Amino acid sequence: MSLRNERVRKTLMKEISDIIQKELKDSRIHGVVSITDIEMSHDNSYAKVYYSVFASEAEKEQTIKAINENTPKIRYEVGKRVRLRLTPELRFIPDNSLERGANVSRLIDKISKGEI
């Protein structure tokens, strides 16, 4: 990945996170939404945005639905904030790796305490 693409990726991570936390006025967004990674196409026209939601299962489902429905608005806000020739098309993908890691940690703790 080129240095420019890496800079664009990091800027997008920061700005998308800020837009979701501060700009979206959707009552269905609950808990903490964390942008975990972004995969950019080589020409920066497409971006897969991986994110985690820390909330209950019902709230998580509502948040995922709200983010998917607000994708055009998020892209518009990114276009206003980040000066690129072409604002990338965004695709949001839920990332459960942090939850899986926490579950593995809990299991290791239980095993070490002899609970399992």
C-alpha gyration radius of the chain = 17
At position 5, the amino acid (one-letter code) is: N
Residues 58-67: tens digit of each pLDDT: 999 999 999 9
Beta carbons within 8 Å of 89's beta carbon, 6+ residues apart: 45, 46, 47, 75
Taking residues 81-97, report their average pLDDT. 89
Beta carbons within 8 Å of 90's beta carbon, 6+ residues apart: 16, 47, 49, 71, 74, 75, 78
pTM here? 0.80
Decide: 64 and 89 in contact? Cβ < 8 Å.
no
CATH of the structural domain 3-113, one choice from 3.90.550.10, 3.30.830.10, 3.30.300.20, 3.90.1170.50: 3.30.300.20
